[in-house]
Structure 1
């Protein structure tokens, strides 16, 4: 029943009758016959497409699927399905998988409407300053971003590139494309977007960081060419350099300022979700922050792991540790840190809960990530010395000494570690481990002790577990969907 509801809602969205947009009059207030006739209709549809970033997947499930499944964080909290993700006991019936799948496809459906409907709008206001082409570029970028989340999580997925016009299973039940085909479409969308988007829309950073720009497109292209199976590090280097040399003027800032809640839309930010409070608030911090900051006393989610804390301590990386992790005494039992209460660490890159109405943000892209990705590309191309120069830019700003390495293998481990410390709680770790072919070695080598039993946790990591299972609810609806290897 839930699966059918999602299908019908997405179908209705395609027809202009089941969407919620903000700031502008929603298209859902119009009929199918008169919708998508004016510039304001196009802008409202685009606002709705960006609103997809405020769905649960982008609020915090992206962290569960990248940081909690890895060696960075424990599940925390009390949700058995998130415990299962943490322990890599992945099951197709885990509802969080279906929620992510359906929310990402809802975002894609919104983009498909724009890409189909906006070209036919003849309002002269859309011709001014090339606005129609910009809107199409923004929609193509957003569709590519959602498909990137899907393909790196599930592998090959159905490519839905047009709005649905019927609930007939013959139209809606689409087989999976291969992961290579999905990446090809992502790149096609991004190249389309790159030719239509500006480096900046105005002098207003709150606009430039909220919307897709050439900087955001180049950043995602760099990630795509690094993450896909037939990776191309020459392309990664090309697109990283395009970001770094952008006329938008991105530059590293004080690491503490990145996450203090007072310096969003900063020079390092390429794109970020614009939580402003009220109806446009981030409820994620309330789920993660300790009692002193959240104002409540229940056990919190996304608990930093002992292995992550040790990684900071081994590197004497106090600046990034203190920005990322906050210890506080609690009364509940944490099976890894304290039985019956005691000192427990909390995920701290969000700093203010504000009663479920926080303005704290996630960066979709920031320069520090791209500089380290450039280092990765240089190293993969046989230039470890040049890679060290880039890594040391990141280390210098947190007062750590420079690193050197004479071999690609040694430098790759340095870059992996640096990315872990720099980007914890930013949804990168699982992608990195998979990309480096290190997920099995790292996860099976962990020495995490469950204090309730004094037994080492066995994650039983296998190659198959690098991808999540296709949600069973979606397979029940669409009989053409197969399952990933290793899952029933």
Structure 2
């Protein structure tokens, strides 16, 4: 428990750090040198630095919502940023600045995890027990896997770097892309190992159990990876979810309204979440999304819920999730989709509830059990266990006062598959999942090209021109310029 107290103290003192380029050899902290990791506190600090990337990397703050929800059919760009409009209209080019920022941030996070994995066994401090070393390794493997999962879903074949880069020679830094299949193999093998190294819980303190990787988190992420890989293995998806559900962490569904009210952090449904505390460790995302009555400012906000999303809620009579996810308010700006006149009532993304002047304590879930329940339904359906799959979907529906699925909604494997996809949309909007779900279901091209959205300024229909080539993001131009190996076919 002494180690847990150290971790908690370090978490409470952590401040947001600047983001380095992933090939930048500048030390991650002032202690990063050949003899830096000699004590228990030093390697624990390095691990906390690896977790810190969830707060400092802009992708995990709110760009995941842009590239998952705004890029899909869930949200319009809103705001006034041309690069976010480009995301909305699927016109993302290699020079888009957010690509390079996110690529760099995520690879920097991987570098931090690699350092921990390389150095932990060299620490001889008696305060660092062998049991704790195992946990640290498991946490670092989980973190590295999570970041590679983000990369492979976003860019497909990318460089696979599993050790720290110690030289600036071309052969050291011009790393070619690795195939999507091999990256998923690395992710799942690392997570299988991590699950054997990690405990179900670290004790009775939920602020520790939900802040750090656990065996349940490793099994849950592995289940998602086995489903998302090019050839899904639904037997392994199901077996890993069963391990999540048998965990001593006792994950369970809680009332949906409580998930996002800002008063139930580290709850029983949370598997792992970003530990925003507010103030210097605050989340700036809510200020960008919430309406004037909450944010206290009057400029046009981003991530506007789409007509298609609102229609999906209304078609199900899903008032509980709709009201927890969307808030309508009259505004003084003109919105080209909801009201081409000042004073129109438009929807705002509302799973974050407090803006707090760019320093909110509102959090994002890294993994939560509701997502895993619906993934279990997906796996059961793919394994031709339709009734069992419907039972899992009904668990999610019943907690928001929706009736069990009708016979029509589960009449065949294909029908139930679409029903589950629709349920995931309503459950997980604004949680950075929609693009991946559509990709996994092979429905990105059809969904975006069949989407009917009317620009009220001229009455025209938006043409998204979606193609298979747009499923993955382009590699950032800055990386292509300095690493000619990225233009080669993946290994």
| Residues 1:48 and 2:49 aligned together | yes
| Residues 1:422 and 2:401 aligned together | no
Q: Which residue of 2 aligns with 1:432?
A: 437
Task: Measure the CA separation in 2 of the matches of 1:425 and 1:131.
Answer: 36
Q: Which residue of 2 aligns with 1:71?
A: 73
| Residues 1:366 and 2:368 aligned together | yes
| Residues 1:381 and 2:383 aligned together | yes
1:380-419 aligned within 5 A: 380-403=382-405, 404=407, 405-419=410-424
1:102-117 aligned within 5 A: 102-117=104-119
Say if 1:282 and 1:169 are closer, same or farther in 2 by CA, change over 3 A: same
Q: Which residue of 2 aligns with 1:23?
A: none
Contact 2:192 2:219 in 1 (8 A): no
146-155 vs 461-470, which moves further: 461-470
The Cα shift of 1:484 comes to: 9.3
Q: Deviations over 1:441-474 (max 9, x none)?
A: 1111111001112100011111111111111111
1:14-25 aligned within 5 A: 17=27, 19=28
Contact 1:138 1:197 in 2 (8 A): yes
Contact 2:22 2:107 in 1 (8 A): no
Q: 1:459 aligns with which of 451, 460, 464?
A: 464
Q: 1:61 aligns with which of 50, 60, 63?
A: 63
Task: Measure the CA separation in 2 of the matches of 1:366 and 1:484.
Answer: 36
Q: 1:450 aligns with which of 455, 458, 463?
A: 455
1:203-282 aligned within 5 A: 203-282=204-283
Task: Measure the CA separation in 1 of the matches of 2:403 and 2:125.
Answer: 58
Q: Which residue of 2 aligns with 1:157?
A: 158
Q: Which residue of 2 aligns with 1:24?
A: none
1:223-372 aligned within 5 A: 223-341=224-342, 342-372=344-374
33-42 vs 391-400, which moves further: 33-42
Q: Deviations over 1:397-449 (max 9, x none)?
A: 00001004131011001101100000000111111101011111111111100
Say what the alpha-carbon RMSD is for the aligned residues.
1.5
Task: Measure the CA separation in 1 of the matches of 2:127 and 2:279.
Answer: 31
Q: Which runs of 5+ in 1 are unaligned?
A: 20-27
Task: Measure the CA separation in 2 of the matches of 1:31 and 1:386.
Answer: 51
Q: Deviations over 1:14-44 (max 9, x none)?
A: xxx2x3xxxxxxxx23362430111011000
The Cα shift of 1:6 comes to: 2.3
Task: Measure the CA separation in 1 of the matches of 2:449 and 2:488.
Answer: 24
Task: Measure the CA separation in 2 of the matches of 1:236 and 1:477.
Answer: 38
Task: Measure the CA separation in 2 of the matches of 1:238 and 1:85.
Answer: 36
Aligned length: 467
Task: Measure the CA separation in 2 of the matches of 1:255 and 1:81.
Answer: 33
Task: Measure the CA separation in 2 of the matches of 1:32 and 1:425.
Answer: 40
Contact 1:199 1:214 in 2 (8 A): yes
Task: Name the SS for the 1:63 alignment partner.
Answer: helix
Q: Which runs of 5+ in 2 are unaligned?
A: 1-19
Task: Name the SS for the 2:423 alignment partner.
Answer: helix
Q: Which residue of 1 aligns with 2:25?
A: 11
Task: Measure the CA separation in 1 of the matches of 2:339 and 2:174.
Answer: 48
Contact 1:470 1:483 in 2 (8 A): no
Task: Name the SS for the 1:116 alignment partner.
Answer: helix
Task: Name the SS for the 1:344 alignment partner.
Answer: strand
Task: Name the SS for the 1:141 alignment partner.
Answer: helix
Q: Which residue of 2 aligns with 1:22?
A: none
1:472-487 aligned within 5 A: 472-482=477-487
Task: Measure the CA separation in 1 of the matches of 2:148 and 2:338.
Answer: 37
TM-score normalised by structure 2 residue count: 0.93
Task: Measure the CA separation in 1 of the matches of 2:204 and 2:152.
Answer: 35
Q: 1:126 aligns with which of 95, 105, 128?
A: 128
Contact 1:470 1:484 in 2 (8 A): no
Q: Deviations over 1:284-308 (max 9, x none)?
A: 0000000000000111111100100
Task: Measure the CA separation in 2 of the matches of 1:72 and 1:58.
Answer: 18
Task: Measure the CA separation in 1 of the matches of 2:148 and 2:424.
Answer: 23
Contact 1:469 1:484 in 2 (8 A): no
TM-score normalised by structure 1 residue count: 0.94
